[in-house]
């Protein structure tokens, strides 16, 4: 295994792990809010979260690239205050991926929370427990299958991310070049053996993850047993 | 015991299956009573219980527990359920599936107290199940866990929402005793929603009959259900189980006290608006019944 | 249930046994009750009450002569006869009120009861309950 190959896989792995970790932290409170809030414009927020599922990656990628530009207020503000450039950097594709994979994390969590009987939350409140304690000790442990599904989907989806990474990250070896892009590169260079190596690894990881999701969902169905 | 009279003066517009209904109640509930909220489904019983618990906000009014204001629309006060020191037992029990029986009890305790938890488990005959998750328990066992958990909170007010509706009739009878035991142990006020006459008679010391969002009658079960406007001295309340037309008469089967079967001949004039499941008063004069001593 | 509106005219109590006289449109009735001395408010002379008695407690007679112990006697006209296999229902008119009597079909035949007949309906005093008419 040559150094570039290893580096590309390392970046892909780092990219998927960070995306997933950030999304767990952001996704749990967001899906809690989406599941229970009575906010009037909630449907709009829900629609925004789900946009990546219907839009081509190039559309979101284009807008993000524009926003990252130092001439845009967002890009300019990042550069002035933090001295951070996002265009064509690892941080840039990470942020893009967090936004683009959001629905894969939020939707299973939100559905899991909604499927819990209201009485569980209410029972915890009447037993004197705060919303935070209720969330952490009653709600989260009872949507474990949804959490596993959300993590696996997000991870698998970010490993396979192509369009938005290419759009926002370009193809910088050692910085933004992930396996899915490397495959494209190798094919362009008629390097089919290399492309196959990348492809096989991505295929195997995704297959493994999806198999885990389905076997977990088959085993856990706490509401049928209740 | 300190006086914790509950003041309940509330109004709430409810959306029911039959359209809008205004719940309007003004009553006091005395300390230590076992109160039954009795009435048809959709009359507003559960809504009242949820208003007391703080899980639902009335449109306007005043809810007070002793001198503590729980809700006052004129002053914008609405104390959340966490701070009301109550226990609410849900129709589906709402046991936490991720915790064992014992952990469910511990969760409810304001301060973890293993000795009290073990005592509660033993009182309700749950000691051998303490390491089990709720998913592996029978309906009756779940109900007892829910009761034990409700007590573990040491509430000043115990609220029960149709606690026995999910159980078969044999199980109901035994668990009525458990509920009574829970009320005695706690020594606090208990309010139970029920539409089962036998349950109300056995458990409640005071009944509020809720009809279309209002209290239609209140008093002891005897006052509320036996009809002092009839001179007949043999009065039995029960539920119509069967109506069979035979010859020129109807034979109405009434189940009283959960298991007594009474058959009454009724004529068409008695049958107006009488349906299966209706609560009825069977009465006759003290002159008519005959007694036979039962052999021991 | 047969129900007749009336007014309590007189009451006689002996221990827990109470005999109540009720006037229904000029006809006197008596009801024998078990009632403690502390009677409900509505069970007092002068109050309007309903006499209540079951259809099966109403006996019928035609051309009755001689003495009989039944205290409550109503001269009625037969307005309807519903014959059943064993039990028949006779609807009667009594001073503007409707009363039903349930007797055996054999009795209907032996008395030859037909619509328009004049019959006497009778109820024992201990079969009549009183109900507060609000």
Best of B228, B231, B250, B281 to mutate (most C CBs within 10 Å, chain C): B231
C129 vs B contacts (CB less than 8 Å): 230-232, 283, 285
pLDDT at B222 over 70: yes
Q: For helices B139-152 and B114-123, what crossing angle results, to 10°?
A: 140
B42, B90: one domain = yes
Q: Is B172 found in the same domain as B116?
A: yes
Domain ranges of chain C: 2-132
> DSSP alpha helices (H): ranges in chain A?
3-36, 42-54, 57-68, 73-82, 90-115, 118-126, 131-134, 140-142, 144-159, 163-169, 179-188, 192-219, 222-225
Q: How many CB atoms lie within 10 A of CB B182?
A: 24
Q: What is the domain-level CATH number for residue B95?
A: 3.40.50.300
How far apart CA B280 and CA B256 sit, in angstroms, is 9
Asked if A142 has any chain B CB less than 8 Å from its own CB, the reply is yes
Set of chain A residues whose Cβ sits within 8 Å of the Cβ of B81: 122, 125-126
| B230–C102 C-beta distance less than 8 A | no
Residues above pLDDT 90, as percent of chain B: 47
Spatial contact of B281 and B229, defined as CB atoms under 8 Å apart = no
Chains that touch A (3 or more CB pairs under 8 A): B
Show which residues on chain C lie within 8 Å of chain B, measured between beta carbons: 1, 31-35, 40, 42-43, 52, 54-56, 82-89, 100, 102, 126-127, 129-132, 134
Considering the domain architecture, whether residues B179 and B237 belong to the same structural domain is answered as no
N-term to C-term CA, chain C: 18
Chain B interface, best mutation among A126, A144, A145, A219, by max B CB count within 10 A: A126
Full residue range of the structural domain in which residue B42 is found:
2-224
* Residues in Cβ contact with B87 at an 8 Å cutoff, skipping those fewer than 6 apart: A126, A127, B108, B149, B150, B151, B153, B155, B157, B158, B159
DSSP characters for B115-178? HHHHHHHHHTT-GGGTTS-GGGS-HHHHHHHHHHHHHHT--SEEEEESTTTTS-HHHHHHHHHH
Overall average pLDDT of the B211-230 stretch: 82
Distance CA B223, CA B19 (A): 32
Same domain, B53 and B142: yes
Residue C100 pairs in a beta bridge with C91
Contact (CB<8Å) A122/B149: no
Residue of B86, B93, B96 to mutate for A, most A C-beta atoms under 10 A = B96
Query: How much of chain B, in percent, has pLDDT values that exceed 70?
Result: 97
Question: What's C2-132's CATH class?
Answer: mainly beta
We report the CATH number of the domain holding residue B280 as 2.40.50.100
Cβ A128–B82 below 8 Å, yes or no? yes
Same-domain pairing of B139 and B112: yes
**Dist CA B157 CA A124 (whole Å):** 16
Phi then psi dihedrals of residue B188, to 5 deg: -110, -175
- pLDDT computed for residue B79 by the predictor: 94
pLDDT for the residue numbered C11? 92
Last residue of a domain, one of B224, B246, B264: B224
CB crowding A83-108: b at 16 or more within 10 Å, else e: eeebbbbbbbbbbbbbbbbbbbbbbb
Do B132 and B248 lie in a common domain? no
CB nearest to B269's CB, from C1, C84, C130: C1
Are both B49 and B137 inside the same structural domain? yes
Give pLDDT tens digits for B229-241. Answer: 777 778 888 888 8
| Domain's final residue, options B224, B253, B280 | B224
Cβ distance B98 to A142 less than 8 Å, yes or no, reads yes
Which chain B positions have a beta carbon within 8 Å of C52's beta carbon? 230
Same domain, B134 and B276: no
Least CB-CB distance to B267: which of C52, C85, C100? C100
How many domains does chain B fold into? 2
Asked whether at least 3 C-beta pairs link C and B within 8 Å, the reply is: yes
Architecture of domain A3-218 in this structure: Orthogonal Bundle (1.10)
- Number of other CB atoms surrounding residue B222 within 10 Å: 11
Contact B107 A127 (CB under 8 A): yes
Contact B94 A137 (CB under 8 A): no
Q: Between chain C and chain A, are at least 3 CB pairs below 8 A?
A: no
Q: Cβ–Cβ of B231/C85 closer than 8 Å? A: no
Other Cβ atoms within 10 Å of A213 Cβ, number: 19
Q: How far apart are CA B173 and CA B143, in angstroms?
A: 13
Whether residue A122 and residue B90 make contact (CB cut-off 8 A), yes or no, is: yes
Q: Are B66 and B90 members of one domain? A: yes
User: Is C102 within 8 Å of B287 when comparing Cβ atoms?
Assistant: no
* Mean pLDDT, rounded, of chain C: 91
Q: What is the pTM of this model?
A: 0.73
Helix (H) or strand (E) holding C76: strand C72-82
CA C19 to CA C34: how far, in whole Å?
A: 9
Domain termination residue (choose one: B207, B224, B241): B224
The alpha-carbon gap from C1 to the nearest alpha carbon of chain B, in Å, equals: 6
Nearest to A117 among B81, B85, B92 (CB): B92
- Yes or no: say if B92 and B143 are a contact pair by the CB < 8 Å rule: no
The answer to whether residue B80 scores a pLDDT higher than 90 is yes
pLDDT, one tens digit for every residue, chain A (226 residues):
578 888 888 888 889 999 999 999 999 999 999 999 988 899 999 999 999 888 888 888 899 889 998 888 888 888 888 888 888 888 888 999 999 999 999 999 999 999 999 999 999 999 999 999 999 999 999 998 899 889 988 998 898 888 888 888 887 777 888 888 888 888 888 889 888 988 898 889 888 888 887 787 776 554 443 3
Tokens linked to A78? 């990042």
pLDDT tens per residue, range C49-74:
999 999 999 999 999 888 999 889 99
Residue B269 or C31, more confident: C31
CA dist B282 and B206 (Å) reads 22
Q: Please report the ipTM that was assigned to this predicted complex.
A: 0.80
């Amino acid at each position: 295994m040559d150094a570039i190959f290893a580096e590309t896989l390392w970046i892909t792995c780092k990219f998927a792990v960070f995306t997933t970790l950030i999304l767990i932290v952001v996704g749990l409170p967001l899906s809690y809010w989406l599941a229970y809030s009575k906010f009037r414009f909630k449907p709009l927020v829900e629609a925004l979260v789900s946009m990546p599922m219907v839009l081509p990656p190039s559309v979101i990628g284009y807008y993000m690239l524009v926003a990252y530009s130092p001439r845009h207020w967002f890009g300019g503000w990042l550069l002035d205050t933090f001295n951070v450039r996002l265009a064509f950097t690892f941080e840039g594709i990470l942020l893009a991926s967090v936004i683009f994979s959001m629905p894969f994390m939020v939707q299973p969590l939100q559905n899991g929370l909604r499927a819990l009987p209201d009485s569980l939350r209410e029972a915890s409140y009447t037993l004197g427990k705060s919303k935070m304690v209720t969330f952490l000790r009653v709600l989260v442990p009872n949507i474990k299958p949804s959490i596993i599904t959300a993590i696996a989907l997000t991870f698998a989806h970010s490993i396979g991310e192509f369009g938005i990474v290419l759009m926002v990250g370009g193809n910088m070896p050692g910085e933004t070049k992930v396996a899915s892009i490397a495959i494209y590169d190798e094919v362009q260079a008629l390097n089919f053996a290399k492309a196959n190596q990348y492809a096989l690894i991505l295929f195997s990881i995704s297959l493994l993850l999806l198999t885990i999701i389905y076997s977990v969902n088959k085993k856990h169905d706490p509401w049928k047993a209740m | 015991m300190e006086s914790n009279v509950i003041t309940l003066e509330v109004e709430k517009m409810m959306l029911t299956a039959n359209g809008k209904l205004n719940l309007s109640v003004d009553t006091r509930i005395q300390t230590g009573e076992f109160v039954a909220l009795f009435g048809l489904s959709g009359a507003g019983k559960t809504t009242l219980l949820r208003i007391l618990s703080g899980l639902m906000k009335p449109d306007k009014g005043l809810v007070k527990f002793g001198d503590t204001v729980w809700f006052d629309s004129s002053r914008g006060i609405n104390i959340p359920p966490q701070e009301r020191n109550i226990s609410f037992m849900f129709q589906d029990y709402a046991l936490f599936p991720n915790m064992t029986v014992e952990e469910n009890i511990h969760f409810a305790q304001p301060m973890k107290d293993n000795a009290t938890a073990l005592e509660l488990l033993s009182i309700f005959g749950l000691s051998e199940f303490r390491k089990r998750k709720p998913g592996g328990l029978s309906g009756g066992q779940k109900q007892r866990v829910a009761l034990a958990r409700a007590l573990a909170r040491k509430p000043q007010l115990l609220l029960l929402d149709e606690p026995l509706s999910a159980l078969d009739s044999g199980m109901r009878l035994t668990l009525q005793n458990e509920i009574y035991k829970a009320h005695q142990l706690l020594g606090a006020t208990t309010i139970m929603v029920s539409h089962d006459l036998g349950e109300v008679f056995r458990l409640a010391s005071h009944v509020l009959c809720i009809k279309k969002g209002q209290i239609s009658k209140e008093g002891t079960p005897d006052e509320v259900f036996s009809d002092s406007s009839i001179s007949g001295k043999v009065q039995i309340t029960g539920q119509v189980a069967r109506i069979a037309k035979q010859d020129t008469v109807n034979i109405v089967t009434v189940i009283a006290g959960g298991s007594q079967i009474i058959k009454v001949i009724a004529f068409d004039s008695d049958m107006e608006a009488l349906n299966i499941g209706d609560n009825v008063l069977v009465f006759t004069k003290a002159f008519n019944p005959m007694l036979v001593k039962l052999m021991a | 249930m047969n129900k007749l509106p009336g007014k309590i005219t007189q009451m006689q109590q002996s221990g827990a046994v109470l005999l109540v006289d009720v006037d229904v449109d000029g006809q006197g009735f008596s009801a024998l009750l078990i009632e403690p001395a502390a009677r409900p408010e509505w069970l007092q002379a002068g109050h309007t009450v309903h006499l209540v008695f079951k259809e099966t407690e109403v006996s019928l007679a035609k051309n009755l002569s001689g003495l009989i112990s039944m205290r409550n006697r109503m001269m009625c006209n037969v307005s309807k006869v519903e014959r059943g296999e064993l039990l028949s229902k006779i609807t009667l008119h009594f001073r503007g009120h409707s009363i039903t009597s349930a007797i055996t079909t054999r009795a209907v035949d032996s008395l030859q009861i037909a619509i328009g007949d004049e019959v006497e309906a009778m109820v024992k005093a201990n079969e009549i309950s009183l109900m507060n008419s609000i």
